[in-house]
Amino acid sequence: LPPDDQDPPALDVQADERFITISGASFEYVLDRTDGLFKTMNVGGEPLLTRPMEVNIWRAPTDNDMYIKAKWYLAQYPHARARAYDTEYSVGPDGVTITSSMGLLAPAVQRIAALETVWHVSPAGAVHVDMTVRKDPEFPMFPRFGLRLFLDGAFDQVTYYGLGPHESYPDKHRASSHGRYSSSVPELHVDYLRPQENGSHYDCDYVQLDGAGIKLTAVGAKPFCFNASHYTQEELTEKEHNYELHPCDSTVLCLDYAQNGIGSASCGPRLAEQYRLDDASFDFS
C-alpha cells in the first residue's frame, strides 16, 4: 500500500465482451462477465488464485446429513454454479463498481436462486462485495452459502477472530470460545474416519491467511464462517475412508454467509428450524 500521505494511483480498467480487467499499482484483477466472479487476482506479480472464484453451496455430507443429502443430490446442489445474465461497471474517484445480475444454476433443474451482486475495488486493491440472494422456495435448505477461493498452497498459516480452537457450527460450538486463534491449515482439518465436512469456524469477525510474504484478509459486515483446507469438498464427498484422501495443491478457502447446522439426524430428530439454512432471502457482504 502507498504511504498514508499519498493517494493510490488511479485504476486502469480494460473491458471486452468477456472480461473486465482492473489494474492498480501492485495488483491486477480479472472478473469474468459470464459468471460475475473473479477469474484471476494477482498481487505484486504473483497469483492469489489457482482457480477462478466460485459461489459455493455444497459441503461434503456429514453422517447426520444421511437423509437430507438425498434431497440435495436430487436438487443437483453438488453441480450448482453461478451464471451472470448482465454485468456492468462504472469508474469513480473511489474505485471501480461492478454490478451483476446472476443466477445459481445446475443441470436439469430450474434456477436455484437469483443473485444481485455488487463488487467494489478500491484504488488500493481492497475488494468489497454485497450479494443479495433470493432462493427458490421449491428447493431444500442449502448445505451452505458463500464464496470458494482456491489460493496458492503457500497460504498455509491462518489467524482468525471467532469461535475456536475446535471446529464450530451454528448448533455445535459449546466446546469453543471467542478469541483470536492461529493455526496452520493442516491443523484445522478434523480427521474423521469417514471423510465429511469438517473444520469450519463459526461467528468470525475476520480471517487472515499468510503465505509467501502476502497476507489475505477477509472481514465480514456480520459474523461469518470459514473453512481453510488442503482438501476439496469434492474429495471429502467422494472418498469413503480417511486414508484414501489426497490433498490438492491449493489452499481451499470457503467464506460462508452460513452453513446448515450439523444436527443429529443419523439417529435422532431432524435438524431444528433455527439451525437450518433455509431463508427465502438474505444478504452476504
**Distance of alpha carbon 284 from alpha carbon 105, whole angstroms:** 19
For 44-60, give the secondary structure using H, E and C. Answer: CCEECEEEEEEEECCCC
Per DSSP, which regions of the chain are E strands? 12-15, 19-23, 27-32, 37-43, 46-47, 49-56, 81-92, 95-105, 113-121, 127-135, 144-152, 157-164, 177-184, 201-211, 214-229, 250-259, 281-284
- pLDDT (0 to 100) of residue 213: 85
Strand partners, 259: 144
CA 43 distance to own-chain centroid? 20
All residue ranges of the chain with pLDDT < 50 are 1
pLDDT in tens, 148-162: 999 999 999 999 999
pLDDT in tens, 103-133: 999 999 999 999 999 999 999 999 999 999 9
The DSSP H or E segment spanning 73 is: helix 68-74
Q: Which residues of 3-39 are buried (b: 16+ CB within 10 A; e: fewer)?
A: eeeeeeeebebeeeeeebebbbeebbbbbbbbbbbbb
C-alpha cell at 3: 504511504
Prediction pTM value? 0.95
CA 164 distance to own-chain centroid? 19
- CB–CB of 268/236 below 8 Å? no
165 preceded by a cis bond (ω within 30 of 0): yes
